[in-house]
Structure 1
Amino acid sequence: MTLRWPWTRPTPSDSLAISLDGSTLVYAQVAAIAGGRRPLLRRCGTVPFDTARPQELAGRLRALGLPTQSVIALLQVPQCQLLQIDTPAVAPEELKAAARWRIKDLVDCHVDDLTIDVMHVGDGRTHGPKQAFVAAAPNRVIQGVASLCEAAGLQLATIDIRETAQRNLQCALAQAGTQGDRAGALLMRHGEHCLLTICAHGELFYTRRFAWEGALDTTAPAAPQSLSQPIPLLDAGEMPDIVDYGAELAIEDDSAETPRIVIEVQRSLDLWERSWPGLPLHGVTVDAGESTAALAAVLARQLGQPVATLDPRPAFDGVMPACRGDTALARTVLPLLGALLRDGHRNR
């Protein structure tokens, strides 16, 4: 099984996206998109299973009547690195091989043990550095997902990653609102990690991962640090946010009283302004689960940027009804909705 990234949707039919969180399968079923209408989330939920007997999962999924063909599997944040490199000056057909060579000193295992794919940074139209994102997942992770899907009776079409799923959702919401092609930042919690993406023109320009634990602590780190990654979904009153590193702080309050994640986000925004001066940010959206309101409030005070909370309803119909009003489930399913928005025309 290879990491097919991005995915091209096959025939018009209900689509299924799943993610595996330990011994729990999370799923989202979306109705076929027709006539330019917004996607409809039909069903979502979680299915516990015995990892030692994955074949038993097949019966549970059949009982639910879920579609089993052209399934998208979304990796957890720690299961795939997303590296950024200068684009190798090679022919398109040689790009992946050249990228594999470039990342050999950036990964903690042998490159032959990794499945990789490459995507250009940005849309190729905007002035800026010519760089590429390289998604690198251990072969054992890819094989494990493929084997479990086979045992569960699911026909695996694509394995996607959190950054591109978050991009898809972010860009769909931008198009559905007033932002359009302008640059915007989304900060989402994915379990134990936080993920910042900055997108414009329907493409991903910048991403950074943070560890969520201690992110709201008011003890500033001695030097810029990477955190980790998380994933949530919100209802009426929550949105995602941004982060970056390597810049001088523009925070008025004493850093010892400023939450660590705010400092890191400010560094990211400062770096963005220096790197992409022609793409000013429209604002920051935040989704951090039950901490969303607190995080959005402190970011709004400190960043000098419009800050909003993530609401997926402009891009998807039926989110809360399909989740039976369960906000926690909706947050868990949100990244799957992003994976289901892949349309096959994004740049590689």
Structure 2
Amino acid sequence: MDLSTLLARLKPRAAAKATEHLGITCSPSRLSAAVVRADGDGRAHLLGQVGFEGDLDMAQISRWLRKNKLKPDSATLMLPGDEYQILPFDAPSVPAVERAEATRWRIKDMIDFPVEDACVDCLMLPAPDGQGQSSHALAIVSRRQQVREWMQRVRKAGIELSAVDIPELALRNLLALQPTPNACALLRIGATRASLIVVWKGELCTFRRFEISAPQFAAADLHSRQAQFERLGLEVQRTADAFERQFYGTAIERVWVEQSVPEVDLVQQLAPQVTLRVQPFALGDWMNLERLPVPPADTPTPPPNLIAVGAAVRATLVARDEVAA
């Protein structure tokens, strides 16, 4: 079974009425979830979010859903970043329904395990001038057994899993909530690494991972932090320049930055390092935020995990597309 079946197809079924959707993401030491309501007209509302430190038991999410009377119609799980690969390659000239299987044989020499044991899917890129599709694509590859194990863990917790996806596409979903004619980028500095994606025409076109994390920024002294920003700025600028050489029909309109490091203004520090327009990514500017009951003062609610929220946003995009059609 290919990734297009075991993992998520990029567009889940749309609903004409308001529906609720669960997104789940897991890091080595944290489990996060979010529930988003997709209105029939395609508007997104964040109904709730939660994070659990240390214990990665999926049953915690089930209990949280019941406690807060949330009944999602679908659930999407994000694979951890070290359990899949994204490989650029020349797209096969076959019908869309045959693309995943054709991709499997194109990438068999690019992975270090038997292709028969792989889940594979194919993401087509826009043409460099923006007219139609390119001859280039991205292959998403993961080990079938690892995907199955994640699916079993979620279903064992009583959660009916609808799809398995990857964090880069969760971030893509967020940017797709407010599409722009030109490309835009999103930089997220997470608990274990930083991620940069570039989206154009609703498609993930470029991605980068940097071995720098929010805890590293927070713990660094002033001199070390400045060096980290210079290094990060150089990589962001190089990525933008390479993207604009490949996709000459557009330019990166702006780089959105999640302000994920306490007491550090990432936008202010990064902006002088690049020639791009840099702005803070505030989730409330992209969707409606509807808070659950405020927790006690000694248990503050953490900021929403963008990966979990992006996973839950999938159905909202489809509902919007259906209305537009």
**TM bucket normalised to smaller:** 0.7 to 0.9
Change (3 A) 1:22 1:94: same
Q: CA deviation at 1:45?
A: 1.0
Aligned equivalent of 2:311: 339
Query: Are 2:103 and 1:99 equivalent residues in the alignment?
Result: yes
Task: Indicate conservation of the 8 Å contact 1:17/1:336, yes or no.
Answer: yes
* TM-score, normalising length: structure 1: 0.74
The C-alpha deviation readout for 1:170-227, integer Å capped at 9, x for no partner, is 121x44xxxx2211111112321222111122222222222225987989xxxxxxxx
Whichever structure has more strand as a proportion of its residues is: 2
- Where relative contact order (Cα < 8 A, 6+ residues apart) is larger, the structure is 2
Aligned partner (choices 254, 268, 278) of residue 239 of structure 2: 268
Any residues of structure 2 matched to 1:218-229 within 5 Å, and which? none
| Unaligned segments of structure 1, at least 5 residues | 220-255
CA contact (8 A) 1:73 1:160 kept: yes
Query: Taking structure 1 as reference, are residues 142 and 7 closer, same or farther at Cα in structure 2, changes over 3 Å only?
Result: farther
Contact 1:24/1:46 (8 A) holds in 2: yes
Contact 1:116 1:135 in 2 (8 A): yes
Please give the residue correspondences for 1:20-31 in structure 2 after superposition, counting only pairs within 5 Å: 20-22=26-28, 25-31=31-37
Secondary structure of 2:261's partner?
helix
CA distance in structure 2 between the partners assigned to 1:292 and 1:84 by the alignment: 37
1:289 aligns with 2:294: no
State how far apart, in whole Å, the 2-side matches of 1:80 and 1:323 are. 37
Would you say 1:259 and 2:217 are equivalent positions? Answer: no
Matched, 1:193 2:164: no
Q: Secondary structure at the match of 1:330?
A: coil
Distance 1:68 1:305, change over 3 A: closer
The RMSD of aligned alpha carbons is: 3.4
1:113 alignment partner, one of 103, 113, 117: 117
Taking the aligned partners of 2:34 and 2:127, their CA distance within structure 1 comes to 29
Does residue 65 (structure 1) correspond to residue 69 (structure 2)? The answer is: yes
- Tell me: CA distance 1:191–1:7, structure 2 relative to 1, closer, same or farther (3 Å): farther
Residue 95 of structure 1: how far off its partner (Å):
1.8
Q: Which one of 4, 8, 13 corresponds to residue 9 of structure 1? A: 13
Q: Which AA in structure 2 matches 1:309?
A: P
Residues 1:25 and 1:312: Cα distance change in structure 2 (over 3 Å): same
Distance change (3 Å), C-alpha of 1:323 and 1:205 = farther
Aligned pair count reads 302
Q: Which amino acid aligns with 1:167?
A: R
Going from structure 1 to structure 2, the CA distance change for 1:58 and 1:327 (only over 3 Å counts) comes to: closer
Q: Measure how far apart 1:292 and its partner are.
A: 8.7
Alignment gaps of 5+ in structure 2: none
Give the whole-Å Cα distance in 1 for the aligned partners of 2:229 and 2:61. 46
- 1:89 alignment counterpart: 93
Could you tell me how far apart the structure 2 residues matched to 1:303 and 1:104 are? 38
Measured in 2, the distance between the counterparts of 1:103 and 1:292 equals: 44
Distance 1:85 1:324, change over 3 A: farther
1:327, 1:169 → 2: CA distance?
A: 25
Q: Which of residues 69, 77, 82 is equivalent to 2:81?
A: 77
**Where in structure 2 are the equivalents of 1:131-280 lying within 5 Å?**
131-172=136-177, 174-175=178-179, 180-213=180-213, 259-280=230-251
